[in-house]
C-alpha cells in the first residue's frame, strides 16, 4: 500500500519522520510517498484533502476535522513554544491595528493566536515564514509574526520582541500551546490510522535513541541552519506530547476549539470525533 505524506523540512518534522520514510522501522508493508513543504502550503492542501497523511497547523485542523482524524503521535505542543511578534523598535500595542504585520499564513496557529490576543490587528500580509525577519528588518512591514527557528535568530539580527503569544495563551488558559499536529484521512479507516500512528511513534523513538547525533536527513533539509540551532529546535518542539498527546495534550486541543468557537471563528467545539 502506498500513502502520501506531507511534512515540513524543519528539524522537528524530519527528526520525527526520518526512520519512517528512510527504511529505519517496520512500516507493515506501507510505502510512504512523502513531500516536504512549508506549513502554510500543507495547510492549504489539507483544506482540499490532498494528502493521505499530513502535518498541519491546529488552526487548520479546526476547519478540516470532518475530513481528517488527529493521530496521537507527532504533534507539536508544549510550554514556551509559542509564536513571537517582533519589530525593529517598540510599538504601541494598543494601536497595533495601525501597523502592518507579516504573518506566516492565515491558516497557521500563529495567526490564530494573534487573532485571539489582538483581534484589532487586521493589517496582515502572508509571507513564507523564513522571509519574515528580513521583511521587517528592511522596513516593508512594521512587525512580523515569527515561528520555528526564527525564535532563536531574531535578536541577533536586530529585532525586538513585542509579544510572546505562547505566554499570552498559557496565562489566559493555563493550557499547553497546540501548534501543529499529524492527521490522516478518515476514509482510510481507524485500523490503518492506528497502524500509521504506531509507525510514527517507532520512528520518533529511533531518532531519540541516536540523539544528540543528527542524521543526514535532518541536516540536509534544515535550510543552512547550524547544528546547535537544529538541536534547540528539536528540544523545543519535540517533547512528550510528540510521543503521545496524553490527557493534557487532548485538553489543550479542546481548549483551542473552545476559544475559537467563543471568538466566532468556528461554529462547534471539540468532540469525540477529533481522533480516529
Interatomic CA distance for residues 29 and 207, integer angstroms: 21
Specify the pLDDT at position 154.
92
Residues whose CB is less than 8 angstroms from the CB of residue 99 and which lie 6 or more positions away in sequence, other chains included = 91, 121, 123, 142, 143
Contacts (Cβ under 8 Å, ≥6 apart) of 24:
18, 203, 206
Contact, 118 vs 145, CB < 8 A?
A: no
Fold type of domain 84-173 = D-Maltodextrin-Binding Protein; domain 2 (3.40.190)
Question: How many angstroms separate the CA atoms of 113 and 119, rounded?
Answer: 9
Residue 148 among the catalytic residues: yes
Dist. CA 176–CA 191, nearest whole Å: 29
Q: What is the pLDDT of residue 272?
A: 62
The answer to the question of whether 110 is labelled as a binding residue is yes
Q: For residue 214, say whether it is annotated as part of any ligand binding site.
A: no
Listed in sequence order, the residues at least 6 apart from 83 whose beta carbon sits closer than 8 Å to its beta carbon are 104, 108, 109, 110, 113, 114, 145, 146, 147, 165, 166
- Three cell numbers at 247? 490527557
The pLDDT value recorded for residue 267 is 83
Q: What is the pTM of this model?
A: 0.86
**Orientation of helix 11-21 relative to helix 227-237, angle to 10°:** 80
Q: Where is 64: in which H helix or E strand?
A: helix 58-64
57 assigned ligand-binding residue:
yes
Confirm whether residue 56 is marked as ligand binding.
yes
Domain 2-78+177-274 sits in CATH 3.40.190.10: yes
254 Cβ contact partners less than 8 Å away, ≥ 6 residues apart? 269, 270
179 annotated binding-site participant: no
Catalytic residue among 52, 72, 148, 233: 148
Q: Could you read off the pLDDT tens digit of each residue along the chain, which spans 276 residues?
A: 999 999 999 999 999 999 999 999 999 999 999 999 998 899 999 999 999 999 999 999 999 999 999 999 999 998 877 899 999 999 999 999 999 999 998 888 899 999 999 999 999 999 988 899 999 999 999 999 998 778 888 999 999 999 999 999 999 999 999 989 999 999 999 999 999 999 999 999 999 999 999 999 999 998 767 899 899 889 988 999 999 999 999 999 999 999 888 888 888 777 668 999
Helix, strand, coil shares of the chain as percentages rounded to 5? 45, 20, 35
Domains 2-78+177-274 and 84-173 share a fold: yes
Report domain extents, the chain: 2-78+177-274, 84-173
pLDDT value at residue 253: 94
pLDDT at 244: 96
Count of other CB atoms within 10 angstroms of residue 153: 15
Amino acid at each position: 500500500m502506498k500513502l502520501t505524506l506531507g511534512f515540513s523540512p524543519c528539524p522537528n518534522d524530519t527528526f520525527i519522520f526520518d526512520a519512517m520514510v528512510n527504511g529505519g522501522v517496520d512500516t507493515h508493508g506501507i510505502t510512504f510517498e512523502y513531500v516536504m513543504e512549508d506549513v502554510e502550503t500543507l495547510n492549504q492542501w489539507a483544506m482540499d484533502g490532498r494528502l493521505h497523511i499530513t502535518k498541519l497547523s491546529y488552526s487548520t485542523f479546526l476547519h478540516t476535522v470532518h475530513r481528517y482524524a488527529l493521530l496521537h503521535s507527532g504533534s507539536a505542543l508544549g510550554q514556551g513554544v509559542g509564536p513571537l511578534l517582533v519589530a525593529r523598535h517598540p510599538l504601541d500595542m494598543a494601536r497595533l491595528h495601525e501597523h502592518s504585520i507579516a504573518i506566516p499564513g492565515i491558516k497557521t496557529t500563529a495567526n490564530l493566536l494573534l487573532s485571539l490576543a489582538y483581534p484589532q490587528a487586521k493589517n496582515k500580509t502572508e509571507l513564507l515564514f523564513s522571509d519574515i525577519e528580513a521583511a521587517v528588518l528592511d522596513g516593508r512591514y512594521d512587525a512580523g509574526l515569527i515561528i520555528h527557528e526564527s525564535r532563536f535568530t531574531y535578536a541577533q539580527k536586530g529585532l525586538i520582541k513585542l509579544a510572546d503569544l505562547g505566554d499570552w495563551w498559557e496565562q489566559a488558559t493555563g493550557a499547553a500551546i497546540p501548534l501543529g499536529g499529524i492527521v490522516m484521512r478518515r476514509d482510510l479507516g481507524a485500523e490503518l490510522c492506528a497502524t500509521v500512528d504506531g509507525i510514527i511513534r517507532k520512528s520518533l523513538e529511533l531518532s531519540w535513541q541516536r540523539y544528540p547525533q543528527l542524521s543526514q536527513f535532518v541536516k540536509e533539509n534544515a535550510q543552512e541552519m547550524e547544528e546547535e540551532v537544529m538541536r534547540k529546535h528539536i528540544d523545543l518542539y519535540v517533547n512528550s506530547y510528540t510521543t503521545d498527546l496524553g490527557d493534557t495534550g487532548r485538553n489543550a486541543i479542546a481548549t483551542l476549539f473552545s476559544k475559537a468557537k467563543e471568538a466566532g471563528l468556528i461554529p462547534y467545539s471539540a468532540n469525540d470525533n477529533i481522533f480516529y
